[in-house]
Amino acid sequence: MSATIHSLNADRNNQVDKSKRDGGPNRRETLKIAAGALLPTLVPNLAAGQSARTKIVLLGTTGGPPLTVMRAAPSNAVLVGGALYVIDCGNGVARQIVQAGLRLSALKSIFITHQHSDHNLDYGNLFYLAWYAGLHGQVNSYGPPPLAEMTKKFFELNAFDIDIRIRDEGRHDPRQLLVPHEIMSAGIVMQDDNVKVTCALADHPPLPVALSYRFDTADRSVVFSGDTRKTDALINLAKGADVFVCEAQYLPGIEEVLQRAVKAGYDKDIADSLLRSISGNALTVEQAGEVAQAAGVKTLVLTHFVPGNGAVPEQVFVEEARKAFSGEIIAGRDLLEI
């Protein structure tokens, strides 16, 4: 079943049509134009012949929302055909993109797995900084409700600065360039000259809608679990994928961290609630291995580490996943290219 996608209202569409008259492509035209013609090459130092290969970059690999020194908040990038596709927008995602040597102005699409702050906090900021870095083409964003309302309110929040920069710096109005699409069911999300993106409904209570995404390009397939419990839908989405980027939670480590926090004065009731929530709404790292094995993926990449503050060595996560998965396992780290 195709994904149920709700675009912005007629006023938004009129703004996009105006952008077309002013020389900017509308959504239909954007999907028809080869990204190589629309966007510059992402990494100018690539050796000849390498630019066509699909790249996966882990931008942020800790679970949130607490800030940690060692890892940034959840976010990933897929680079193909000279275009940048970003999956989740945790705090600092734009800086991580720059740190990875990528160009913000190459941003083409944003995909949000679910509306938790560690996954969406810098959604608007990513687009805004890409716009300021020279973005001209339309950017489509995809994710669960209330993505459209979030987009509208972000522009309202920043209207003063936007208007000043349009007047004083001669910039195009960014409100014409970011078009959100709300997804509420499984199916095809989008397809362009670079990639076909499909989604499955994730099981991440108490959120009413959460998503896992699969990207299929000419040379690779990659699945991003988002945050979810173990489901047949996730296994089916990941069937035969080259790369499965999956959250990694180690419950004994979480319990130990929370116990130490309570001894240091943290509210015990909140700690108990956190443990119940975490243990009941997402995959353990061993279950990540089970999903990878059942789906027959080639490589399991662990990310979204919880606890993500170095309290548990990476090797422990790998060993837990190895209990169920016989393929390649990579312990993700920030800015790692797969």
Question: What is the residue-level pLDDT of the chain in tens, covering all 338 positions?
Answer: 445 444 443 344 444 344 433 444 333 333 322 333 323 333 333 333 345 789 999 999 999 888 888 899 999 999 999 999 999 999 999 999 999 999 999 999 999 999 999 999 999 999 999 999 999 899 999 999 999 999 999 999 999 999 999 999 999 999 999 999 999 999 999 999 999 999 999 999 999 999 999 999 999 999 999 999 999 999 999 999 999 999 999 999 888 888 988 999 999 999 899 888 888 888 999 999 999 999 999 999 999 999 987 889 999 999 999 999 999 999 999 999 99
Residue spans of the domains in the chain: they are 5-337
Supply the CATH classification number for the domain 5-337: 3.60.15.10
pLDDT value at residue 21: 39
Q: Who contacts 186 (Cβ-Cβ below 8 Å, separation ≥6)?
A: 1, 3, 198, 199, 200, 201, 233
pTM of the model: 0.84
The span from the CA of 129 to the CA of 123, in Å, is 10
pLDDT value at residue 20: 38
Asked if 238 and 214 touch (Cβ cutoff 8 Å), the reply is: yes
